[in-house]
Amino acid sequence: MPQQGWSKKRERQYEHIKDGLTDRGRNEDQAEEIAARTVNKERARAGESETASRTSTDDISSGRRGGLRSHSGAGGRTRDQLYAEARKRNIRGRSTMTKAQLERALSR
């Protein structure tokens, strides 16, 4: 789904984001939409797009936001990230677990 106005770099970025999301358990359609939105936001922040919303240019960058969630401090991984990991490890009862319960189950 890479768009015509994207550079080769943005197409690679799109594929990288999409692959990462599908590896973490997102379905193909969701992964494509999130990846396209992320790339378009990065293009707006870099001044590569003709139009850009204020939130695209003033908000925290997607790379920084992801970096803030990639460690275990200040909230750590999201519940969805924990759930995807639990699904990979085939932990039973994961669908009804809270974030704290998923963290405990994964730490065993």
List pLDDT tens digits, range 3-58. Answer: 667 889 989 999 999 999 999 888 999 999 999 988 888 888 877 777 777 666 66
List pLDDT tens digits, range 48-83. Answer: 777 777 666 667 776 777 666 665 555 678 899 899
The pLDDT of residue 6 is 85
The residues spanned by each domain of the chain are 1-70, 73-108
**Residue listed under structure tokens 């809270």:** 98
CB neighbour list of residue 68: distance below 8 Å, 6 or more residues apart: 74
Q: Tell me the two tokens of residue 9.
A: 């770099």
The pLDDT of residue 44 is 82
